[in-house]
Chains A and B, each alone.
Chain A
Amino acid sequence: MSAPAADAQLNDPVLSVDKVSVRFETREGPVVAVDDVSFGVRQGEFLSVIGPSGCGKSTLFNVIGGLLTQHQGTVSVAGETIDGPHKSIGMVFQEESTFPWRTVTDNVAFPLELVGMAKAERVERARHFIKLVGLDGFDNRHPGELSGGMRQRVSLARTLASKPKILLMDEPFAALDEQTRLLLGDKVLQIQQEIQQTTLLITHNITEAVQMSDRILVMTYRPGRVKRIVDIDLPRPRTSEIVSSEAFGRYVAQIWADLREEASRGMREAEDQVLHHQGAES
């Protein structure tokens, strides 16, 4: 360990989430989507948030990204409390989010255009990130001419091009097939290792989470709370090959045990609700 002062600075979270709760008013009454969630992400760290479907991951993602403001608690970036989209945070969305009327280059250059960067410069920067995600040669295509995985890479490149201090991703690979997903995972790992990108990844894929993360935050199902934070002590640099190691298997088993509890509780509750409805109707 180095000097304590430097150490303390290193361990200071760049992103901290403090007692965040979100409640939605629905027709069936209030739903607590996120309940009293607190954690921090350190400089250069890769942290994954994992949890069953519907546990409030996207809600948390929107709060941290500043797109959802009616929440309790605070989110701060380097000590500064956010009250809207913050310039240090770059988001990659769960849904298809490329602009169909723009070419790949113009899609990736979009955030640079917004800040008024000169055309030549932003095209050059866009080209660099297009290459980084492995889309060399597709610069002048439109999203409609690309596959789903390629479009998702365009979204990733677009967010990376804005050079965010913190990269925030909501299940960016969820809609992809297993092979593309693994390859893209490798890509993200490689990028992460190349540019030491501080990353918060939201996922419900255990393998993906263990493979990429320094730490994994497991969420409970309804209300979405922090169940456990697991340190992943696997050597870096990593590739998708690490999946076959024994230590990897142990982490996966441990997190799976945590998750299974939550996921099955979620399923049971959903079933109960359906049965309840049927009972009420008949």
Chain B
Amino acid sequence: MADTGRLRSTAVGAPGWVSPVTLLRVVIILTFLAVWEFLSHSGWLYRDVVPSLVRIAAALVDLLTHGEYYFNLGVTAAEIGLALAIGGSLGIVVGIVLGANRFLTKAYEPYLYYLGPTPKIIFFPIIIMWCGVGPESKVALGALSCFFPLALSVAAGMRQIDKVLIRVGKSFRANSWQMVMKIYLPAMRHPLINGVRLGFGFALIGTLLAETKLSNMGIGFLIINAYSTFDMPRMYAMLIVLFVLSIGANALIGRLGGIESIKRR
């Protein structure tokens, strides 16, 4: 108690110091690592379920110095990118059409709401039959996964657009393409960027999940491969890299949304 009080007062007194929140985070991480290391040496758990940090680090170095890993990373990144591009643009188009048309909304939006939260992995067997076991089926599942959140958030974004702006566009005789490019999309830039962020997450999950199910390349494949050969340090090393990369990608999309000219309201 006394300790935390002193920490806070020093932090407030000297702004150059590390803030209490950051300090707490560091403490949590260090504690976690310490417990991990302790468990790995304790022998309480079955061999290698919790490998030593040193061995994970070694595996990480081994991973990052071999070309094979980068090849598979590239495959997965390409799959996710394609999935987001295909599923995302379809989602945006469907969202705009639904949002612009009350009749279609009534007819079709319930399906989106029911299908949206369904785990898309249940369609994987069908996708395999259509697209085979190669990267195509991973792209398909990733695209399917990110289609729904994007379509729904774009449709909702469309309905939030100030109606008078649409009337301004019509009064100046903008055609449909101009309405979409110069009014709908910029007017819903905030929900749109949020949707893309959400869609990216779903594309990532869908693609990786598909790779772990049935595949012969990609990060998901490597991870599940390491798991089945019980190479735990390697598996953890890959999880760490994946974690860091997805945080980075998410931050990048967030930055895109933070650009001054887009943010203006």
Contacts and interface: CB of A to CB of B under 8 A. Distances in A.
The answer to whether A and B assemble together is yes
Interface of A: 65-67, 84-85, 87, 89-91, 93, 95-97, 99-102, 110-111, 113-114, 142, 144, 162
Interface stretch (B52-60, B90-98, B167-175, B209-217): B167-175
B195 to A, nearest CB: 17
A99 B264 contact: no
Interface string B169-205: 0111110001000110011010000000000000000
B172 A100 contact: no
Contact of A93 (B167, B182, B189, B261): B167
B164 A114 contact: no
A120 to B, nearest CB: 19
Contact of B171 (A91, A100, A142): A91
Given A95-B164, A96-B164, A101-B186, A110 B265 contact: no
B170 A99 contact: no
Interface string B230-265: 000000000000000000000000000000011011
B7 interface: no
Contacts of B186: 99, 101-102
Where chain B touches its partner, the secondary structure class is: helix
A66 B173 CA distance: 10
**9 closest Cβ pairs, A-B complex:** A91-B171, A95-B164, A111-B172, A97-B164, A101-B186, A142-B264, A97-B168, A85-B171, A85-B173
B12 interface: no
B262 A101 contact: yes
Contacts of A162: 172
Contacts of A65: 171
**Taking each of B167, B183, B186, B261, which has the highest tally of chain A beta carbons within 10 Å of its own beta carbon?**
B167
A90 B187 CA distance: 22
B165 interface: yes
A93 B170 contact: no
27 contacts: A65-B171, A66-B171, A67-B167, A67-B171, A85-B170, A85-B172, A85-B173, A89-B171, A91-B171, A93-B167, A93-B168, A96-B164, A97-B164, A97-B165, A97-B168, A99-B168, A99-B183, A99-B187, A101-B186, A101-B187, A101-B189, A101-B262, A101-B265, A110-B172, A114-B172, A114-B178, A114-B182
Contacts of B182: 110, 113-114
B165 A99 contact: yes
Contacts of A95: 164
Contacts of B261: 101
**Taking each of B168, B178, B262, which has the highest tally of chain A beta carbons within 10 Å of its own beta carbon?**
B168
Interface residues on B, range: 10 to 19
A83 to B, nearest CB: 12
A97 B167 CA distance: 9
A84 B175 CA distance: 12
A144 B164 contact: no
A89 B174 CA distance: 14
Contacts, number: 53
Nearest to A112: B172
Contacts of B172: 85, 110-111, 114, 162
Contacts of A66: 171
**Taking each of A84, A97, A101, A162, which has the highest tally of chain B beta carbons within 10 Å of its own beta carbon?**
A101
Interface in B115-141: none
B164 A93 contact: yes
A102 B183 CA distance: 11
A96 B165 CA distance: 9
Nearest to B186: A101
Contact of A144 (B178, B183, B264): B264
Contacts of A97: 164-165, 167-168
Contacts of B170: 67, 85
B28 to A, nearest CB: 40
A114 B174 contact: yes
A67 B173 CA distance: 10
A100 B173 contact: no
**Taking each of A87, A90, A110, A113, which has the highest tally of chain B beta carbons within 10 Å of its own beta carbon?**
A110
Contacts of B187: 99, 101
B173 A87 contact: yes
A100 B265 contact: yes
A221 B199 CA distance: 52
A106 to B, nearest CB: 10
A17 B187 CA distance: 34
**Taking each of B171, B183, B186, which has the highest tally of chain A beta carbons within 10 Å of its own beta carbon?**
B171
Contacts of B173: 84-85, 87, 114
B186 to A, nearest CB: 5
Contacts of A85: 170-173
Contact of B265 (A84, A96, A114, A144): A144
**Taking each of B165, B167, B172, B174, which has the highest tally of chain A beta carbons within 10 Å of its own beta carbon?**
B172
A97 B161 CA distance: 12
A93 B78 CA distance: 48
A3 to B, nearest CB: 37
